[in-house]
Structure 1
Amino acid sequence: MTIRGMRSAGVLAAVMALTVTGAASATAQVSGIDRGVVQAGLDKIAADGATGVQARVTGRGESFTARGGVVEVGGHRPVPTNGHFRIGSITKTFVSTVTLQLVGEGKVGLDTPVSTYLPGLLPDGDAITVRHLLQHTSGLYNYTNAMPLDPAGFETIRFKHYEPRELVAMATSRPLDFPPGTKWNYSNTNYIVIGLLIEQVTGAPYEQAVRDRILRPLHLSHTSLPGDRVTVPHPHAHGYLQPTSPPVDVTALNPSWGWAAGEMISTTADLDRFMSALLQGKLLAPAQLAELTKSLPFTQGYGLGIAEIPLPCGVTVYGHDGGIPGYASVAVSTKDTKTRLELSITTGPVAGEFSGIGEVIDEVFCP
């Protein structure tokens, strides 16, 4: 699996690539989720190059946690089922939720140019709207593509502090990838700009808006926005750069280069509560909840900070994945929130495809 920036394409690809097993199990009569099948999938992930993996499953009248692998390379301690982990781009779903709350309050317009709120920040700010940013249709160059995030280069920036406007400048030094609103391309730059927009509109750090509007109301006490803090709260498993020999433990890093696009830390329990509350309309008014999940024909099912993912068995799930050096994660749910899955992988020094993710998702969502 390849991690580039704050998105783990391998995790989401595994969700969308379910073909044979999903179709086969769609006809099976199953009254409950087979924990043995879930455990086998997690063990397969660990055997395929992960250091460890933890999952939280809700569905068919039951809820449980499971795990595979170990806390750190060479050790024997099992991964904690309540462990903290870096969630990477799942941060975007939190940030989009705050933005849509501001839309509902009349403080932000989805189809208003960015230059209205942040004059001079973007050379094409008059043509790029808030919706374009949230949906990755702005055409802005992805700044993480210009950063040394490969194993050889990451150590040179691992503990470096980045300012948000410095990250935006990396992107705006390049031309747009395409005219705004005409194509879709995942770009972390979009959510750095959204973070700055939230700060401009609220008059406070974007982190405070996330805490006040989401974390505190939902009592997500194990979710944090670390800023320059390099450590992950205990308990946690260790993540490693891929591929490296000898192993390079990158559990400690400065996530300021991810900021509003991917800096957050959470647990499967907190992510589960967030996704459930979000899709049940507890955080957004009906009009904004509808906008959240509204995709366009060319956006690959991506709405405004959340993706709609049709599985071959006929079930559609909604959620996001995330990747940051050392960690890969996914949080997905059916729209009615009756079936949910949160999963965190701590990557090992050997790269793997982690096909066991598909087996877990198939067992959870395809009865």
Structure 2
Amino acid sequence: MRKSLPGKRIVACGTLVALLAATTAAPASATTTTSPVQASLDALTAQDGVPGAEAVIQDHGRTRVVRSGRGDVATGKPFPRNGSFRAGSVTKTFVATVVLQLVAEGRVKLDAPVERYLPGLLPDKRITVRQLLQHTSGLYNYTDDLPLNDPESLRHLGADPAELVVMALKHPPLFAPGTDWSYSNTNYIVAGMIAERVTGHALTDEIGRRITRPLGLRDTYLPRRGDEKLPEPHAVGYVRVDGNLVDFSDYETTMAWAAGGLVSTPADLDRFYGALLGGQLLRPAQLAEMQRTVPAGLGIPGARYGLGLGSIPLSCGEFWGHEGGILGFTNLAGVGPQGRRVTVVLNQNPTPAAANQHMLAATDAALCSGK
């Protein structure tokens, strides 16, 4: 039986904090005989204590898989090659793509107020669709309400989108719309509601019709309420509770929904971001809007955010993509210079603070060193 939402604490989806709070240098443990990607993954597992890590790199038709640590600490099995995982806030890029396709079709206007599509939902009638996708709405982040001190209470906790918005609206706005930047999962709950209202279809069906089926992403989907099972094969997703690693692979993720509920694989995300940045999913005008960025406001030089897409400098150029974090899994996926793609996955969330540095180091090495 699913528990009702009111009074329960909601898991925080990933933000760009992990993507940004890092350097691009390879760890000091790298040797001349170990590739930079392998060295960074080994640092995650040996130094940071993450159970396992994997990088799947696609470079113009060539795929390389680099792994470290264990996919299952009980059996000692390694990460499955290209296994399923919960992609967290990478979901936001998918949702933004759906909304921007609706913009191209003339069914949604970026600078129209949310009120046009969801009358009466938000007290501030000035908030626009663009501000939702860009995190400049000022809406409070509903996942910040309560700490994750009792993950078991979340395992079977489902939510309807409107309930999540109500949670956020118990708090005053952080700022007037368009005057600042603050990452808020509430923005994408509302964006997903707009997509459903405009199309008349469930968001998971629109993602399937518009993105996953056209690209052949057979292992990517947004779970419906009650779907708690992570498909095999997959690494075990862990949460550390009282110092012990707890299996949190299977659970209800509609609490994250359009902000972070997606299930995918590294190869699927590599293909998705390559197709997106390559112009296969959006018309040039809408892709340009997606890449029209503002400072991310996290105190990291060069960090910027567009519409469901983040940008940071690499040692060899620019990264476009998104970080994702949800109970059990952390990942960073995107595209670098010359169209090289990478998805780095860790089978733990939350992660130790030092893991952020090594995750981005692995990403930089994969996209810039070619080794």
TM-score by length of 2: 0.88
Identity value in percent:
45
Superimposed CA distance per residue, residues 156-212 of structure 1 (whole angstroms, 9 cap, x where no aligned partner): 222111110000000111110000000000000000000110011001111111110
- For residues 251 and 61 of structure 2, the distance between their equivalents in structure 1, rounded to whole angstroms, comes to 39
Indicate the residue corresponding to 1:362 in structure 2: 364
Report if the CA contact (8 A) 2:330-2:349 is conserved.
Answer: no
2:259 corresponds in structure 1 to 261
Identify the residue that residue 154 of structure 2 maps to in structure 1: 157
Structure 1 residues 135-174: Cα deviation after superposition (integer angstroms, max 9, x where no partner): 00000000001144x2x22222221111100000001111
Provide the rounded CA distance (Å) in 2 between the counterparts of 1:96 and 1:214: 11
Distance 1:184 1:8, change over 3 A: closer
The answer to whether structure 1 residue 307 and structure 2 residue 304 are counterparts is: no
- 1:243 is displaced (CA, Å) by 4.9
Structure 1 residues 253-287: Cα deviation after superposition (integer angstroms, max 9, x where no partner): 10010010000110011001100110011000000
Match of 2:332 among 330, 333, 337: 330
Query: Quick check: 1:277 aligned with 2:275?
Result: yes
Which of 235, 238, 241 is the matching residue for 1:240? 238
**Corresponding position: 1:41 with 2:40:** yes
Tell me which residue corresponds to 1:316: 318
1:285-296 matches, within 5 Å, as: 285-296=283-294
Match of 1:13 among 20, 38, 48: 20
Tell me, in whole angstroms, the C-alpha distance in 1 between the residues paired with 2:353 and 2:237: 14
Aligned to 2:3: none
Is residue 242–residue 351 contact of structure 1 (8 Å, CA) maintained in 2? Answer: no
CA distance in 2, matches of 1:117, 1:288: 19
1:304 counterpart letter in structure 2: L
Q: For 1:280-304, what per-residue CA distance to the aligned partner results, in whole angstroms no more than 9, with x for missing partners? A: 1100000001001101246641000
Equivalent residues of 1:321, 1:331 under 8 A apart? yes
Counterpart position of 1:56: 56
Q: CA deviation at 1:45?
A: 1.0
- In structure 2, how many angstroms separate the alpha carbons of the residues matched to 1:262 and 1:74? 28
Q: Which runs of 5+ in 2 are unaligned?
A: 1-10, 28-32, 298-302
Q: Find the aligned partners of 2:85 and 2:327 in 1 and give their Cα distance.
A: 11
Pick from 209, 213, 218 the counterpart of residue 212 of structure 1: 209
Do residues 98 (structure 1) and 98 (structure 2) align? yes
Q: Is the 8 A contact 1:248 1:349 kept in 2?
A: no
1:298/1:352 Cα in 2 relative to 1: closer, same or farther (>3 Å)? closer
Equivalent residue for 2:177? 180
Q: Partner residue of 1:88? A: 88
Return the alpha-carbon distance in structure 1 between the equivalents of residues 43 and 331 of structure 2. Answer: 16
What one-letter code is carried by the residue in structure 1 that aligns with 2:123?
Answer: P
Name the SS for the 1:87 alignment partner: strand
Note the alpha carbon deviations across 1:317-348, whole angstroms, 9 max, x for none.
100000001100010212652x1111110017
Q: Larger deviation: 103-112 or 61-70?
A: 61-70
From 166, 169, 181, the equivalent of 1:169 is 166
In the alignment, the residues of structure 2 paired with residue 315 and residue 35 of structure 1 have an alpha-carbon distance, to the nearest angstrom, of 23
Q: CA deviation at 1:17?
A: 2.3
- Paired with 1:213 and 1:35, the residues of 2 have a C-alpha distance of 41
In 2: Cα distance, 1:212 partner to 1:247 partner? 37
- Which residue matches 1:30? none
Cα offset, 1:35, TM superposition: 6.8
Paired residue type of 2:122: L
Q: Structure 1: which amino acid aligns with 2:233? A: P
* 8 Å contact from structure 2 (residues 55, 67) kept in 1: yes
- Tell me the matched-pair count: 348
Structure 1 residue 362 displacement after superposition: 3.2
Deviation at 1:74, TM superposition (A): 3.2
Q: CA RMSD in A?
A: 2.3
Change (3 A) 1:35 1:215: farther
Conserved 8 A contact 1:55-1:343: yes
Query: Hey, what's the Cα distance between the residues in 2 that align with 1:90 and 1:63?
Result: 21
Q: Can you give the 5+ residue segments of structure 1 that lack an aligned partner in the other structure? A: 23-33
Cα distance in 1 for partners of 2:17, 2:166 equals: 28
Task: Give, in angstroms, the shift of residue 61 of structure 1.
Answer: 8.0
Deviation at 1:60, TM superposition (A): 8.1
Distance in structure 2 (CA, Å) of the matches to 1:350 and 1:265: 19
Does the C-alpha gap of structure 1 residues 75 and 172 become closer, same or farther in structure 2, counting only changes over 3 Å? same
Post-superposition offset of 1:70: 1.1
In structure 2, distance between residues paired with 1:173 and 1:348: 27
Higher RCO, Cα 8 Å, sep 6+:
1
Q: Structure 1 348/116 Cα, relative in aligned 2: closer, same or farther at 3 Å?
A: closer
- Once residues 129 and 79 of structure 1 are traced to their aligned partners in structure 2, the CA distance between those partners, rounded to angstroms, is 42
Q: CA deviation at 1:49?
A: 1.7
Separation in structure 1 between the aligned mates of residue 112 and residue 350 of structure 2, nearest angstrom: 45
Helix, strand or coil: the match of 1:131? Answer: helix
1:198 to 195, 214, 217: 195
Distance 2:137 2:55 in 1: 34
Q: Which amino acid is the alignment partner of residue 286 of structure 1?
A: P
Contact 1:96/1:304 (8 A) holds in 2:
yes
1:235 partner letter = P
Distance 2:262 2:294 in 1: 28
Hey, what's the Cα distance between the residues in 1 that align with 2:252 and 2:151?
Answer: 11
1:349 to 1:196, Cα distance in 2 relative to 1, 3 A: closer
**CA, structure 1 residues 320+255, in 2 after alignment: closer, same or farther (shift >3 Å)?**
same
